[in-house]
Structure 1
Amino acid sequence: MADVKIPLLGKTLSEIQGIVHGLGMPGFTAKQIVAWLYDKKVFSIDDMTNLSLKNRERLKENYEIGATAPIHEMRSVDGTVKYLFCTPEGDYIESVYIPDEDRATLCVSSQVGCKMNCKFCMTGKQGYTNSLTPTQILNQIYSIPERDKLTNIVFMGMGEPFDNLDAVLRSLEILTADYGYAWSPKRITVSTVGLRKGLERFLEESDCHLAVSLHSPFPAQRRELMPAEKAFSITEIIDILRHYDFSKQRRLSFEYIVFKGVNDSMLYAKELIKLLRGLDCRINLIRFHAIPNVDLEGTDMESMLAFRDYLTQHGVFATIRASRGEDIFAACGMLSTAKRQAEKNKETN
């Protein structure tokens, strides 16, 4: 078996400087290497042509780019593309490319599976397997054909980003640093169910947008939908958020999946207004799409519109997120679950 090489993708400038120093290469080659990685986005060390042949050979002894292409893709009639990646450990993760007029958003994963076990989420039904490395997070961006069309990144794929915060923050550094992708933090949104230590650290260490999964303004009901409510309640989350200024640099939004007969009445809209009063935020209303073995349904568009209009009329800006990729099951966890099940069936036959 060949020696496993260390991926360069996902390394910060300071880490590349350490590698260069350790190999006895000139200090300036570190900036050359990160330029090849994050600006020119090469797939081979051999392509780093302004490094001497000797230094390329030296680097190749123990290192590689570390980019791997998706193993499968599904394309929707609306242009949405779902990509399936396989990690070195043989696990499956998903990313979703969503084009929409002048925007092109990529939804990336941060874990294999998830510990949060939200009732409405297919990824949660998989349980938790592993957290992704910065290499595996950035590879979802690096290795898709549409990478140069992207205008926005959202960490709303498989996993809870704040449960893998070191790797997520490292990825955000590379995405926003001058030596990296040099993206504005305003082009990146990180979504969370709300983990206290992760939330506080993210607010201190990153300027990227924040999206909090809400789904019910009533703690007891939210606990049924989202077990994480037991450890860190929505009222505690909002209390922390009130101490931060979201009016200038970063946007605060709340994700609210609307379930038929569960959280779609005006009672819920009124309670949301009370809960969020005084916060500079928006609510993204999302119509639920059924997943196997879950007794929840999406509400009708008439109820969605009435809910949105009531919130907006009472000072809470609300939008309805357009459904995309329904024909390819673009909801998180559907494709990887199907792949895992197919492999199990193959083993038993």
Structure 2
Amino acid sequence: METPKTVLLGKTLNEIQHITQNLGMPKFAAKQIVSWLYEKKVVSIDEMTNLSLKHREMLKGSYEIGASAPVEAMRSVDGTVKYLFRTPTGNFVEAVYIPDEDRATLCVSSQVGCKMNCKFCMTGKQGFTANLTANQILNQIYSIPERDTLTNLVFMGMGEPFDNLDEVLKVLEILTSDYGYHWSPKRITVSSVGLKKGLERFLNESDCHLAISMHTPFPSQRKELMPAERAFSITEIVDILRNYDFSKQRRLSFEYIVFKDVNDSLVYAKEIVKLLRGIDCRINLIRFHAIPNVNLEGTDMETMVAFRDYLTQHGVFATIRASRGEDIFAACGMLSTAKQQKEKGVTL
């Protein structure tokens, strides 16, 4: 049986330097390889034409690019595209391309499934299967047709990024480094329920924007919606963030899915104002997309507008995120779950 080759996509410059050194290639070869990977975005080692034929053949003996195209794409009437990728172990993850006037955002996944089991999230209903590698995360960007038009990236797809932080940080390095994509950290937002060790490490090791999933300011209710609250409370998260110096280079936001008759009254808005007092941040209000077997509903736009206006009038800048792709399994995890269950002969 042929030994699987090691993938190059998702390797940092330091890792590529180790590879070239072990193969006896000249020192400058590592920078040539990362240039082919992250600037020219080649799909085969044969395309790396400034490497000698001998070195290309040497590299091909044990390595490959490791890019794989999506297996399915669902296109919305509003231009949103949901891409489905198959992992080498036969699981599925999603990436969502969202065009909006002069912005083109890609939402990427960091895990197959998720351990957090938030009540309102389809991905959590899958349970946790595996962490994605840096290769599998970066491939979601590398292998879509719109890759060169992207203006923003959000880690808000399947999985909890702070639960796979080593691989996420490696991808962030590649995206923001001079040898990689040359992206400004201000183009990237990482979203988390707020795992303590991951949060502190992310704040110290990355300059990218941060989004925390709040969904209610009351810890007792947040435990019901988000079991992770039991390990690390929203009040503890806010205390850490209050003591962190957020410069103009980094934006802090809180994600707040608005559920009908659950967290949409002004009582909640007033508590958010109290909780976030003194922190430079924003609230993103999100309309809920229904998922099977969950007794939660989205609230009406009039209520969301009143909620937004109260927050903004009381010093917490708030926005209402436009709903996109509602006709193509809009909720995160829906498409991958449907595909997985179809292959097993199960109906969603």
Tell me if the contact between 2:104 and 2:151 (Cα under 8 Å) persists in the aligned partners.
Answer: yes
Write the distance in 1 (CA, Å) between the matches of 2:334 and 2:98. 16
Partner of 2:92: 92
Counterpart check, 1:201 vs 2:214: no
The CA distance in 1 between the partners of 2:89 and 2:97, in whole Å, is 24
Secondary structure at the counterpart of residue 93 of structure 1: strand
How far apart in 1 are the matches of 2:28 and 2:164?
Answer: 32
Matched ranges for 1:1-349 at <5 A: 1-345=1-345
State the Cα distance separating 1:248 from its structure 2 match. 1.4
Q: What are the ranges of 5 or more consecutive residues in structure 1 without an aligned counterpart?
A: none
CA contact (8 A) 1:247 1:280 kept: no
State the aligned residue count: 347
Q: Is the 8 A contact 1:192 1:212 kept in 2?
A: yes
1:137 corresponds to which letter in structure 2? I
Calculate the TM-score normalised by the size of structure 1.
0.98
Relative to structure 2, which stretch is displaced further, 1-10 or 274-283?
1-10
The offset of 1:2, in angstroms, is 2.6
Letter in 2 for 1:120: F
Letter in 1 for 2:190: V
SS in 1 for 2:51: coil
Conserved? CA contact 2:289–2:330, under 8 Å: no
Relative to the length of structure 2, the TM-score reads 0.99
Q: CA deviation at 1:243?
A: 1.3
Contact 2:290 2:331 in 1 (8 A): no
**Distance in 1, Cα, partners of 2:82 & 2:333:** 11
Q: Which amino acid aligns with 1:207?
A: D
C-alpha separation between the residues in 2 aligned to 1:25 and 1:177?
Answer: 23
Kindly indicate whether the alpha-carbon contact (under 8 Å) linking 1:96 and 1:330 is maintained by their aligned counterparts in 2: no
What is the identity, as a one-letter code, of the residue corresponding to 1:231?
A: A
Q: Is the 8 A contact 1:120 1:225 kept in 2?
A: yes
1:330 positional shift? 2.3
* SS of residue in 2 equivalent to 1:309: helix
Kindly state the Cα deviation for residue 343 of structure 1 after the two structures are TM-superposed.
1.1
Deviations 1:221-256 (CA, angstroms, capped at 9, x unpaired): 010000000000000000000111224110000000
Question: Aligned-pair distance for 1:331?
Answer: 1.7
Is this contact kept in 1: 2:118–2:226, CA < 8 A? yes
Alpha-carbon distance in structure 2 between the residues aligned to 1:245 and 1:146: 35
Q: Alpha-carbon deviations, 1:133-184, whole Å to 9, x = none?
A: 0000000000000000000000000000000000000000000000000100
Instruction: Name the CA distance, whole Å, in 2 between partners of 1:274 and 1:187.
Output: 30
Quote the Cα distance in structure 2 between the aligned partners of 1:243 and 1:203.
Answer: 12
Give distance in 2, aligned partners of 1:64 and 1:160. Answer: 28
Identical-pair percentage: 81
What is the rounded CA distance, in whole Å, between the counterparts of 1:340 and 1:147 in structure 2?
Answer: 26
Deviations 1:31-59 (A, max 9, x none): 00000000000000000011111100000
Matched position secondary structure for 1:96: strand
SS of the aligned residue for 2:261 comes to: coil
| SS class of match (1:326) | coil
Structure 1 CA distance, aligned partners of 2:62 and 2:330?
38
Distance 2:275 2:243 in 1: 15
- Secondary structure in 2 aligned to 1:174? helix
CA distance in 2, matches of 1:245, 1:305: 30
What amino acid is aligned across from residue 234 of structure 1 in structure 2? I
4+ aligned runs moved over 2 Å, structure 1:
none
The CA RMSD measured in Å over matched residues stands at 0.9
